[in-house]
Structure 1
Amino acid sequence: MNNSGDSEPIAPDDLESRLRALGEDLAVPPAPPPAGVARAVRARIESGEPAPRRAVWRPTPRVAAAAVAVLMAVLLGATPQGRAAVVSVLRFAGVEIHVGGAGPLPTGVPSPLPGERRVTLEEARRAVRFPVLVPSALGAPADVRVADGGRVVTLLWPGVRLDEYDGTLGVVWRKELGEPWPDQVSAVGGWWIRQPHGVSYMPSGGGTPRQERVAGPTLIWQHNLVGLRLEGPDLEEAVRIARSVK
């Protein structure tokens, strides 16, 4: 599992293949043929020679750890429950994505973000410490919201939601995904989550995440210091919108 935002995450399938390869490298001395063992035992009994003291094999810590890793890989590959228990974490642009082991999607009506209020675009720009970006592909938003003391600005169009926030201050959103792993989008240097998933808001003062809701396919990227998450369009349209942000 990756716990550092600076390390490249390892997908469960890649982890399993690495562990299996490690197991294949473990050298196990071959056992003697059964007939050879029988002849040696019979000769020792007939000569009256006492049996040699049996040596006890004590694995080195490295070999023991490798053996446990191989066993885990076999178990994880053998059962869906085992594979679902592997969770990889991707942190990017203020979003923490947990891939694998996701439970059922949340139900019910989600609550607003903390302190969420409706404002004009100009009021939003005065209320926050980061630039509020508007994609020219969509034009002026139909609705603008500011939340959590100016930590998040949400721009809304029919069927489209764009959240903006300082992408350098820590985790703002947490997403729970089953497989597959998000797709990297080189056109905007971001990540595309193709499936519906649970998303929670992480309050600026810490504490329990706000009520989880179901999010649709989402594009996450960063423009200078601003983190953005775009929800609603398909991938092609989302990339077109993201590239028009200024």
Structure 2
Amino acid sequence: MNLDDELRALGRSAVVPPVDDALTAAVLNRVADIPVRRRMRDRWRFFVAGLCVLLAGLALTPPVRATVAEWLRIGGVEARPVGTAPSTAPPIPVVTGRLSLDDAARTAGFTPAWPRELGTPAGVDASPRFVAMGWDGVRLEQFQSGVSPLYWKKYYNQIEYVPEVSGYWFSTPHTLVLVDQRVVRIAGPTLVWERAGVTYRLEVADKARAVQLAAGTS
């Protein structure tokens, strides 16, 4: 017989003397009123409340949100960190299409938005669910967010959360890839955000300028 069996046999054979009911009730009442137990209960409540506040604060902290974005999608764009990145990027591509905004909307299947302060785009191109617009030194792409991402952005440096538009700023050159693994091109500084089921990619050299234009896109 092993130790476990011996202990079980001992428990079954042990004779427990009767206990006075009044004494049992008194002991239980005394234990319930011990201040230490109340203090422990209160400390546990304070700990849980403090933990919730801490987690809520971290969720709203831009560096933490930027870290989460390293492996989460931003609308129809998926950001993927890589070990190396391009050192330079070519100039922002010019949009050569000459569609009207109405024609672009009919082709894409949704009404495109643009930074109103820039006025009518110099170039407009479109395909189903996708519109590209261009001005001098500015390129805006927008497309309907689907179940699968349209683009992968392979980047090296940390991306930065932009609370003004709930988007992310890619400050350095990065590889822009379509989901079918075709490398589209090397892209420069870009602001990416999503609104009402549409993902926006705004390429412009300066972050402050990008945020201003994005805020005025309608």
TM range (shorter): 0.5 to 0.7
Work out which of the residue numbers 146, 156, 159 in structure 2 matches 1:168: 146
Among 85, 104, 110, the alignment partner of 1:124 is: 104
Structure 1 208/216 Cα, relative in aligned 2: closer, same or farther at 3 Å? closer
Task: Indicate if the aligned counterparts of 2:125 and 2:132 stay in contact, CA closer than 8 A.
Answer: yes
* RMSD, matched Cα: 3.2
TM-aligned CA deviation for residue 196 of structure 1: 1.1
1:138 maps to a residue whose letter is L
2:78 maps to what in 1? 96
Larger radius of gyration: 2
SS state at 1:171 partner: coil
State whether residues 137 and 240 of structure 1, in contact with CA within 8 Å, keep that contact through their aligned partners in structure 2.
no
- Counterpart residue type for residue 145 of structure 2: G
Q: Which whole-Å CA distance do the structure 1 matches of 2:178 and 2:209 have between them?
A: 25
Letter of the aligned partner of 1:172 in structure 2?
Answer: L
SS of 2:217's equivalent?
coil
Letter of the 1:165 counterpart? F
* TM-score of the pair, normalised by structure 2: 0.61
Number of aligned residue pairs? 153
Q: Using the TM superposition, give the Cα deviation of residue 201 of structure 1 relative to its aligned residue in structure 2, in angstroms.
A: 2.5
Alpha-carbon separation, structure 2, partners of 1:105 and 1:163: 23
Match of 2:19 in 1: none
Q: Given that residues 86 and 186 in structure 2 are in contact (C-alpha distance below 8 angstroms), is that contact kept between their aligned partners in structure 1?
A: no
Cα distance change of structure 1 residues 240 and 145 upon mapping to structure 2, 3 Å threshold: same
Distance 1:108 1:138 in 2: 23
Q: Secondary structure at the match of 2:71?
A: strand
**Could you tell me which residue of structure 1 aligns to residue 8 of structure 2?**
none
Counterpart of 1:235 in structure 2: which amino acid? Answer: K
The 2-side partners of 1:145 and 1:190 are apart by 24
Q: Give the CA deviation at 1:95.
A: 0.5
Amino acid across the alignment from 1:100: V
Residue 222 of structure 1, aligned match among 191, 194, 204 = 194
Structure 1 partner of 2:114: 134
**Counterpart residue number, 1:190:** 167
Compared CA separation, residues 107 and 123, structure 1 to 2 (3 A): same
Q: CA deviation digits over 1:12-35, x for unaligned, max 9?
A: xx8xxxxxxxxxxxxxxxxxxxxx
Partners of 2:192 and 2:177 in 1: how far apart? 15
Shift of 1:226: 1.0
1:138 deviates by: 1.1
When the two structures are superposed, what TM-score results if normalisation uses the length of structure 1?
A: 0.54
User: Quick one: distance in 2 between partners of 1:191 and 1:107?
Assistant: 19
- 1:145 to 2:125 alignment: yes
- Whichever residue aligns with residue 175 of structure 2, its letter is G
Q: 2: CA distance between counterparts of 1:89 and 1:105? A: 22
Q: Which has the higher helix share?
A: 2
Contact 1:131–1:226 under 8 Å retained in 2: no
Q: What does residue range 1-246 of structure 1 map to in structure 2 within 5 Å?
A: 88-104=70-86, 118-147=98-127, 150-179=128-157, 181-202=158-179, 207-209=180-182, 211-246=183-218
Unaligned 5+ residue runs, structure 2? Answer: 1-58
Check whether the contact 1:135–1:242 (CA below 8 A) recurs between aligned residues.
yes
Unaligned ranges ≥5, structure 1: 1-7, 15-87
| Cα separation, 1, equivalents of 2:153 and 2:181 | 14
TM superposition shift of 1:170: 2.1
Identity %: 31
String of CA shifts for 1:71-91, please: whole Å, max 9, x gaps. Answer: xxxxxxxxxxxxxxxxx5231
